[in-house]
Every structure is written in C-alpha cells, then in structure tokens.
Amino acid sequence: MNDRQTISAGETLPDQLHDAVGNASYVVVFTGAGVSAESGIATFRDAEKAALWSRFDPMQLATAEGFLADPAMVWGWYTARRRQVMQALPNPAHEAIASLAERVPRVEVITQNIDDLHERAGSDRVTHLHGEILKSRCFDCGAPQDLSALSQEPDEQGRLEPPRCAACGGATRPGVVWFGEMLPEEAMNHAYNAAIQCDLMISVGTSGVVYPAAELPQPAHDNGAQVIHVNPERPPLVCERDWCLLGPAGSWLPRLLV
C-alpha cells in the first residue's frame, strides 16, 4: 500500500472509497475490540488506554487452565465485564455498520468481540468467532446455563464463585473462546467463506494479533476483494491494494457507510 492509500483523521474521504461501498454487492465487516472502544468497553492491547490485558494477565484469566486454577477470580472478572457490556450502548460505528444493510444487498458482520453491541445496533447477520459473554455453559457437561436470576457482584478482590450446573454440579464458565481453545468450527468456516466471496471487506478496530481470526483480511484480499482498514493505528497485516483510514471508527464509519 502506498501512502496515497493512507487517509488520516480529518482528511477528505476519496470518492473512490464511497464508490467501493456504493457499488459493493457483498460487504463483510470484520471487527475487533476497537469498534466497541467508543462505547466504553476496554480494548485488549491499547497501552495508553489502560487496556484490559495491561491490568490483567490474559494467560491467567482467558484460559481454561486459569479458570480451573482459580474459578472465582476468572468468573469474577467476566461478571464485571458482563456488567460493563450490559451498561454499554452501541456507538455511531455500530450504527453505521447496521445501516449499511439498507444500501448493500448482502452485509455480514464477522466479529472477534464477545459483546452484543452489533446486534443491539440492528445488525442481523453477526458471527461471533470468540463466543459471547452474555452466554454461559457448564464447564463439565456443556449444558447452557441461565444467568438471568444471578445478581451477586464480585467481592473487593474481584472474586465471585461461579454458579453450579443443576444437571451435573460442574462450574459455570463464560460462553467465550479462551486462548488455547479451538474457535467454533462452523463460525470459522462461515467467516472464511464470507472473506473469499465478498467484494469488499472493512476491517475495523483490530490489532490483528489473535489467530486464526487475524488471518481473515488476507483471503479476502487474495480473492480480489477491496480491503479497507479503520483504526487509529496502522494494523500489521496491510496488503498492497488495501486502504487505511487512520482514526476512530465512530468518526470514519458514519462518513464511509452512511
């Protein structure tokens, strides 16, 4: 990609990108934690924003081993994050993505995020590659667990014992994909097929470091799609024909998509 294809915040959006959206018949919007940043949900790796992992060790909390070692610590952390998601609201980025379906014949959202802000903004074709924090299941037998009756909060150390499965007594775990766990096969296959079939991929708010999800812009590019990255920082995997809109998703996407 040459510098002509890097547009900084405040610069005019080239007509070429408006046309790419207007002429697209199948758009995949691939999102990471950055699309929810302006809703107040902490990202994972933004150093200056006291990102989630900088205050916690992901290898301790977002792994099955970490959960088995200290279920109350991990369950307490996810309970706090679940509360944050439930109190958050979709931001203009989520809303612009949802409105795209009014202009483009087919729009798919493929997200690494575990929040439900795309759905609450009105997107109806959302694939969660890393699961959903509002869903929970038994760690032992996999039975879905209903959290609606739960109101306990973590204690001052952030700890909360996970509820027990009525069927087998196993501990309840969050319905997310932890490090070292396989992504849901159907979701990953669907995401890969969407990437190779779409004619435009918009990759929003992802650092591109978590695999295999981070690979998705590559097959899109290799199969001829135009790829547009939206991020205050240039992501690591930017290909020759890609465009980069440097800046927050909440500013760029209403200009690009609406």
Q: Which residues are catalytic?
A: 130
Q: At 250, is the secondary structure helix, strand, or coil?
A: helix
Verify binding: residue 206, ligand BV8, rule CB under 6 A. Answer: yes
Q: Does the annotation flag 233 for ligand binding? A: yes
Q: In angstroms, what CA-CA distances link 69 with 40, 42, 57, 60, 82? A: 30, 25, 14, 9, 21
Residue 51 or 150: the one with the smaller Cβ distance to Zn ion is 150
In angstroms, the CA 196 to CA 167 distance is 42
Partner in contact with 168, chosen from Zn ion, ligand BV8, none, beta carbon below 5 to 8 Å by kind: Zn ion
Partner in contact with 256, chosen from ligand BV8, Zn ion, none, beta carbon below 5 to 8 Å by kind: none
Verify binding: residue 232, ligand BV8, rule CB under 6 A. Answer: yes
Residue 54 or 106: the one with the smaller Cβ distance to ligand BV8 is 54
Helix and strand totals (H; E) in the chain = 10, 10
Pick one of 123, 145, 207, 226: the residue that binds ligand BV8 (CB under 6 A).
207
Pick one of 86, 141, 209, 239: the residue that binds Zn ion (CB under 5 A).
141
Q: In angstroms, what CA-CA distances link 124 with 107, 108, 233, 237? A: 9, 8, 29, 28
Work out the angle at residue 168's Cα, subtended by the Cα atoms of residues 164 and 173, and round it to the nearest 5 degrees.
Answer: 45
Least spacing, CB of residue 61 vs ligand BV8, in Å: 7
Verify binding: residue 62, ligand BV8, rule CB under 6 A. Answer: yes
Question: What kind and span of H or E run contains 55?
Answer: helix 52-55
Q: In angstroms, what CA-CA distances link 28 with 150, 151, 178, 258? A: 36, 37, 24, 16
In angstroms, the CA 249 to CA 98 distance is 13
Q: Does the annotation flag 114 for ligand binding? A: yes
Verify binding: residue 162, ligand BV8, rule CB under 6 A. Answer: no
Annotated binding site: 78, 81, 112-115, 138, 141, 165, 168, 205-207, 231-233, 249
* Binding positions for ligand BV8, rule: CB under 6 A: 32-34, 37-38, 43-46, 51, 62, 112-114, 130, 176-183, 205-207, 209-212, 230-233, 248-250
Annotated binding site for Zn(2+): 138, 141, 165, 168
